[in-house]
Structure 1
C-alpha cells in the first residue's frame, strides 16, 4: 500500500534533453548519452508515483544515459495518471508544523491527488501494461539483440521485482537481464524476493518507512542466498528516507551525495551483468 512518503519530496531544477516517442504503444521519454558512444544496452525506468512526466524522473533518465552509455526509456506506464507534482508542496504543508489556516485546503488537495492515483494505479491493474511493453521490447527491434535492464522506484520497484520472477519470459528469454530498485514499495515480503531468478540490486535509506532495518537485513540475506545468476545486493544509505533516489532535497549535501551514489550503484550493477546478458 502506498503512503504519504510515496508522495513526499522535492522537485529538482533542470531541463530534460530527451525526446518523446511512441514505443510499443506507449508515449515514452527517450534519451541517449551525449557522448555519442555506441549504446551498450537499454535501461527502462519504471517511475515512482509522480510518473513519466515528472521532471526528476526525466533528469534521472538523462543521468543514466550519460553515466552508463545506455539508451534509456521512461514509458507512460500509468496511462497519464501520475500524481501531480503540486502534491509534494501540499503534503509538505500538511505534514509540517503551523499553517493551521491553510491546512484544511491542502488536506483536500492531498486527498484529491492520492485517492485517484491509488484507484488508477493498483499493481494488478497496471502490471499487464508493464509486462506487455517489456515483451514487445524483448522480441522486436533493438531489444531483441541488446541487453535489457530496468530501474524501478517506489511503485515502479514492485513492477521491476515482478519482472525478475521465475517464468517471466518471451521466446525463452527473460524480459529483463538485471534489475535495480530504489526504495521499492507495495511489497509482499518475503515472497517478492524469494521468487527472484534475475539479479537485483536494492537501494534503501536507513529511514525508509517501507523497509525498516530488520526488513533490510532479511532482504539482504535472501538476495545473498539465491542461486548463482540470481544473487543480489542491498545497500542502505544513512540519513535517507523513502524516495531519496528520486525526490531528495539536494540542498543538503549528504542527501544529494547519497542520491548520486545510488545512481552509480545502478549503473555499476548493470555494467557488471552486461557480459552475462550478451
Structure 2
C-alpha cells in the first residue's frame, strides 16, 4: 500500500440511501430493484466515505439496481481529516491497519455478502465493483470456480495478483489511470494479454493523465479530473447495463 492510496478529495452532496446490514455486516444500501444488485467493495477510505456513497446512489439510479456498500474493515476506519492532510500521514499506522484487513481476513466476508445477495435476497443478476483495495476482491468473486457474480468492474485495483487475473471467469471491466503505483504497467500489460483469451467479455478503459484513486477521490474542482470521474461513472453504468438483466 503506497501513498497514492491515501490521497483524495471529498465531494459535496448528500447520499440518499440508508444503513442496514448484509450477511450481518453494516452496509450502505441504495436503490429498490429486487432483481439486479451491485456489490461495491470500497477503497481505503471505507464504507462511510461520502464519495463512495454518492457513486452508489448514481449507479442505483442510472443502472436501475439496488447497490450495497458493506463495511469490509470490521468497524474500523482511518480518520478522514488525517487522510486528507498529507502532512499528517505519519500519524496513521497504515501497516497495522492493513494487517487487520488482509485478503485472508476479508475474503470470507466479501463472499458471504455475495452469497447473501444471490441465495437469501435472490437477486437474479449481480455485479461487483471494486475500487483500489476492492479490486482484488471483485476478481475473486468472479473467479471461474466461484462465479458468485455475473460481471465485475474495477478502478485502479490494488493487491491484484497474476493468478487472480488468469482465473477470472466472468466479464471484466478495468478502469486504468496512466499513473498508478499499484496497478503497474506490468499488471496492465498482463491483463491485456491474458483476459482477451479467457472467453469472457472485456472492457479496458485507459485514462491518460490521471492517477491512482481518481474514480472515487479525484478533485472535482479540476477540469481534467472531473472529466475523468464523469467518464468513469458513465462507462461503469454502461457496463452494468450491458451485463445485468432482469
TM range (shorter): over 0.9
Indicate yes or no: 2:175 matched with 1:197.
no
Task: Say whether residues 1:51 and 2:71 are aligned partners.
Answer: no
1:129 corresponds to: 109
Task: Write the distance in 1 (CA, Å) between the matches of 2:10 and 2:237.
Answer: 23
User: Where do 5+ consecutive residues of structure 1 fail to align?
Assistant: 94-105, 169-173
Alignment of 1:251-262 (within 5 A): 251-262=221-232
Runs of 5+ unmatched residues, structure 2: none
Q: Which residue of structure 2 lines up, in the alignment, with residue 171 of structure 1? A: none
Name the larger-Rg structure.
Answer: 1
Aligned equivalent of 1:116: 96
List per-residue Cα deviations over 1:136-189 (Å, max 9, x = no partner). 22111242xx20111001111111111111211xxxxx310000001100121x
Is 1:138 the counterpart of 2:118? The answer is yes
- State whether residues 39 and 69 of structure 1, in contact with CA within 8 Å, keep that contact through their aligned partners in structure 2: no
CA distance in 2, matches of 1:154, 1:213: 16
Structure 1 segments, 4+ long, off by >6 Å, are none
1:168-187 matches, cutoff 5 A? 168=146, 174-187=147-160
Alignment partner for residue 203 of structure 2, among 233, 237, 243? 233
Cα RMSD of the aligned pairs, angstroms, is 1.7
2:179 paired with 1:207: yes
TM-score, length of structure 2 as denominator length: 0.94
Counterpart Cα distance in 1 of 2:2 and 2:168: 25
For 1:265, the equivalent position in structure 2 comes to 235
CA distance in 1, matches of 2:21, 2:194: 38
Matched, 1:90 2:85: yes
Q: How many residues align?
A: 246
